[in-house]
């Protein structure tokens, strides 16, 4: 059964609170966009587990979608987004976000982001699902260029407090004179000093990123453990569309020769290059490669995408990922081949320097041979329900970026819409906070937060140490791959859900440390989110976008 949670509150053993005008949890593009849009006189705390370079924004390769070509239109961009989203996008929110794309690009250019140009104009590339060239990019490392430009600007803010090596534990929730619940701050763990701290603020912004670490093979950094989603849910916020996990079609799949994994079945994530032990993240082969003519082939050179979709390699990500997966299953392959060797070496060096460097580090020469690729967990299309200002159901709490669900992505994110959403919603949340009105919610208040799995009444065992937490994390990832992978079966989903429920119960039965470690905190969030994701998947009885049921 799901019982009332044992949540942290403001006075739960923490030192005296520190107060700010706003607390932003996460330092990817969404968090930076919000912070840079707030008045420089505000006391703002930026909370992050590691550093800004350990963010999905910094890893983003392809670019930012924006209508800048005179032959293109916002209406066409919206139509492409709605098509990719498989009928599950919020049409009004989609129009509202995409209509601000040109303004977002102008803001970044004014900040000094060095986007790629051709003949003195921004170079626009094309990616899967887009009917026109509308992807603004900085070679093949757009996220890195954007973040490296914005981060120094943020550090110039005189009243910014940077709290690195701080992990958020839970939201601090109180009630006002009318008994309405509202967010008052964050209870966090200072990982360096091993102590809990209570951070109070009038406004709290969750910009914590995605949840790729639910899976054994992901493009996400090791810190992408669904922290914001889990904390918001424990505080009473609704999570929506969690079943729509987008698998990127082309993660690098070079053989892991050190582990002898080539003997594993092709469906096993260890059969290809798994995440590195240091980062928990696998390199992507950007979708822009296919936008510039790369073809997907079987080992014998046969193209297969035309048999799956008339758009072939430029079909939306969910279609391409499923096609690759099905070919891998049919032929017992550890991956397929992405071939761009027909483009000139000079072209590849100019447009894809980082891709070339990554491939060469694994003994691959894309100018002369195809790149081995396989799908991997990439993007959470769902998350914390918000409006177009980033407001959640809990007054005073905002969610922006990948942890939020604005409705832009629907059942399958259109390529290069995510960085755009980070900028637009980050700025919108800042403007809403600056409006000066009492923190409010666009939805009726919920009187009680949702329940968490109950703890046994007997005396708990000692809390799990880091070794046991990491072991359980690997078990969770295998259950998620088997139950909520690229192609899903009801029996597999139900089996994975039961196994996760048992793991969840065992975890909570072990009790809670007074000074929890990062491994413990992240496992707690992953367990909550994994169970909720499988519940959402089981509730959706038919295929839709990234939620694909096997025939």
Q: What is the pLDDT of residues 194-222, one digit of tens each?
A: 999 999 999 999 999 999 999 999 999 99
- Distance (Å, whole) CA 492 – CA 489: 5
What does pLDDT average to over the chain?
88
Question: What's the pLDDT at 232?
Answer: 98
Question: What's the pLDDT at 397?
Answer: 97
Question: What's the pLDDT at 276?
Answer: 41
Q: Lowest mean pLDDT of 180-194, 203-217, 249-263, 332-346, name the range.
A: 249-263
- For the stretch 34-88, pLDDT in tens is 999 999 899 999 999 987 777 888 888 889 999 999 999 999 999 999 999 999 9
The average pLDDT across 524-540 equals 97
- For the stretch 437-451, pLDDT in tens is 556 667 665 444 444
Question: What's the pLDDT at 303?
Answer: 97
Nearest to 228 by CA among 377, 28, 39, 455: 28
If phi > 0 it is left, if psi is from -120 to 50 it is alpha, else beta; for residue 421 that is alpha
Question: What's the pLDDT at 445?
Answer: 52
Side-chain-side CA neighbours of 81 within 13 Å: the count stands at 31
User: Are 137 and 62 in contact, with CB atoms under 8 Å apart?
Assistant: yes
Residue 418 has pLDDT above 90, yes or no: yes
- Tokens for 448, please give them: 């009680």
Question: What's the pLDDT at 220?
Answer: 93
Question: What's the pLDDT at 460?
Answer: 56
- Tokens for 54, please give them: 């350990």
Residue 529 has pLDDT above 70, yes or no: yes
Choose between 490 and 179: higher pLDDT: 490
Burial of 499 (0-12, 13-18, 19+ CB in 10 A): middle
Q: Which residues contact 276 (CB under 8 A, 6 or more apart)?
A: 282
Q: Lowest mean pLDDT of 12-16, 42-46, 329-333, 381-385, name the range.
A: 12-16
Question: What's the pLDDT at 457?
Answer: 41
Output b/e per residue, 164-187; b: 16+ Cβ within 10 A.
eebbbbbbbbeeeeeeebbbbbbb
Catalytic residue selected from 181, 317, 322, 488: 317
Question: What's the pLDDT at 15?
Answer: 43
Percent of the chain surpassing pLDDT 70 = 88
- For the stretch 259-279, pLDDT in tens is 433 333 444 444 444 334 344
Active site residue 317: yes
If phi > 0 it is left, if psi is from -120 to 50 it is alpha, else beta; for residue 528 that is alpha
Question: What's the pLDDT at 281?
Answer: 78
Residue 4 has pLDDT above 80, yes or no: no
Q: How confident is the model at residue 286 (pLDDT cuts 50, 70, 90)?
A: confident
Question: What's the pLDDT at 127?
Answer: 85
Residue keyed to tokens 């990123």: 209
- The three-state secondary structure class of 479 is helix
As a whole number of Å, the end-to-end CA separation of the chain is: 32
Q: Lowest mean pLDDT of 167-181, 370-384, 454-468, name the range.
A: 454-468
- For the stretch 145-167, pLDDT in tens is 999 999 999 988 888 999 999 99
């Amino acid at each position: 059964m799901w019982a009332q949670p044992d949540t942290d509150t403001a006075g739960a053993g923490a030192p005296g609170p520190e107060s700010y005008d706003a607390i932003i949890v996460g330092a990817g593009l969404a968090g930076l966009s919000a912070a840079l849009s707030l008045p420089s006189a505000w006391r703002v705390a930026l909370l992050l587990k590691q550093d800004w370079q350990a963010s999905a924004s910094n890893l983003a390769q392809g670019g930012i979608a924006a209508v800048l070509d005179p032959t293109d239109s916002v209406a066409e961009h919206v139509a492409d987004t709605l098509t990719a989203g498989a009928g599950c996008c919020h049409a009004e929110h989609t129009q509202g976000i995409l209509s601000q794309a040109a303004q977002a690009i102008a803001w970044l250019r004014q900040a000094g982001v060095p986007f790629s140009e051709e003949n003195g104009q921004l170079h626009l590339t094309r990616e899967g699902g887009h009917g026109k060239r509308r992807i603004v990019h900085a070679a093949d490392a757009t996220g890195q260029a954007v973040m490296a430009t914005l981060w120094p600007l943020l550090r110039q803010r005189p009243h910014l407090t940077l709290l690195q090596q701080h992990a958020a534990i839970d939201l601090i929730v109180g009630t006002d004179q009318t008994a309405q619940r509202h967010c008052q701050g964050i209870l966090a763990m200072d990982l360096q000093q091993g102590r809990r701290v209570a951070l109070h603020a009038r406004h709290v912004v969750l910009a914590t990123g995605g949840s790729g670490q639910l899976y054994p093979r992901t493009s996400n950094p090791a810190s992408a453990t669904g922290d914001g989603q889990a904390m918001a849910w424990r505080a009473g916020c609704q999570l929506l569309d969690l079943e729509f996990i987008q698998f990127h079609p082309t993660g690098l799949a070079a053989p892991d020769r050190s582990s002898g994994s080539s003997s594993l079945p092709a469906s096993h994530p260890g059969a290809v290059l798994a995440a590195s032990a240091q980062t928990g993240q696998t390199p992507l082969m950007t979708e822009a490669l296919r936008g510039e003519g790369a073809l997907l082939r079987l080992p014998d050179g046969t193209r297969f995408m035309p048999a799956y979709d008339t758009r072939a390699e430029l079909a939306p990500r969910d279609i391409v990922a499923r096609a690759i997966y099905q070919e891998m299953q049919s032929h017992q392959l550890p991956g397929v081949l992405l071939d761009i060797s027909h483009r000139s070496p000079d072209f590849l060096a100019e447009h894809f320097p980082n891709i070339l460097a990554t491939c060469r580090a694994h003994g691959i020469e894309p100018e002369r041979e195809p790149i081995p690729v396989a799908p991997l967990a990439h993007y959470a299309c769902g998350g914390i329900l918000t409006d177009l200002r980033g407001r959640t159901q809990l007054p005073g709490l905002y969610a922006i970026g990948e942890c939020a669900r604005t409705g832009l992505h629907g059942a399958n994110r259109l390529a290069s819409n995510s960085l755009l959403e980070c900028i637009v919603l980050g700025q919108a949340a800042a403007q809403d906070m600056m409006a000066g009105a009492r923190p409010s919610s666009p939805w009726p208040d919920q009187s009680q937060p949702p329940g968490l799995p109950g703890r046994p009444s007997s005396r708990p065992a000692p809390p799990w140490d880091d070794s046991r937490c990491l072991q359980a994390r690997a078990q969770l990832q295998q259950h998620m791959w088997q139950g909520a992978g690229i192609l899903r079966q009801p029996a597999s989903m139900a089996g994975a859900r039961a196994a996760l429920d048992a793991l969840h119960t065992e975890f909570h039965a072990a009790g809670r440390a007074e000074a929890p470690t990062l491994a413990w905190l992240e496992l707690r969030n992953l367990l909550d989110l994994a169970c909720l994701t499988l519940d959402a998947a089981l509730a959706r009885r038919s295929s839709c976008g990234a939620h694909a049921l096997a025939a």
